[in-house]
Structure 1
């Protein structure tokens, strides 16, 4: 088991319920894949560093989790096919 962190940005047009639903969805992917969610830090709506598809804001969320080496690949796939996810990154933490 390794420690990872992921940051994802959701489209600002999503309401609070949709944002919470997406966060729970991603937590479920981690937990159902045999991982554990260590921390969820919702940063809220913030200005993007650069414009993405004529959008200047996004809902930022940081999730720290522990998982096997296969789970980040599946989580990345889920991020890519989920509507509303503008950007995401998954990083392996140093031991």
Structure 2
């Protein structure tokens, strides 16, 4: 298994309950064949540039270990989930 870091940016008007529900789905994908090491909620931040008419977003960063298949599924689900306006997964070289 490899170590990864994922960042999710959620729409700013999303209610906490709905955001947690969507994020729980992402955690479930990771935990299906991996383990979460750390979750860091950055909260509401201003975006570097406007995305789909949004100037702010709610940031969550996750450090985890998993197989490559988990990354593919997580990216697929992130692309089709309207509540996530951006996502990024990088391999942690530490």
TM class by shorter chain equals over 0.9
Paired with 1:67 and 1:81, the residues of 2 have a C-alpha distance of: 21
- Once the two structures are superposed, residues 1-25 of structure 1 have per-residue CA deviations (whole angstroms, 9 ceiling, x without a partner) of 0000100100011011111112211
- Provide structure 1 residue ranges, at least 5 long, that are not aligned to the other structure: none
SS of 1:83's partner is: coil
Write the deviation string for residues 47-87 of structure 1: whole angstroms up to 9, x where unpaired.
10111121101000000010012211111001011121100
After superposition, the CA RMSD in angstroms is 0.9
Runs of 4+ in 1 over 3 A off after TM superposition: none
Aligned to 2:26: 26
Q: CA-to-partner distance for each residue in 1:26-55, whole Å, 9 max, x for gaps? A: 1011112x1101111111111101111211
Gap regions ≥5 residues in structure 2? none
**TM-score, normalization by structure 1:** 0.94
Aligned to 1:66: 65
Please report the TM-score for the alignment, with normalisation by the length of structure 2.
0.94
Q: Tell me how many residue pairs correspond in the alignment.
A: 94
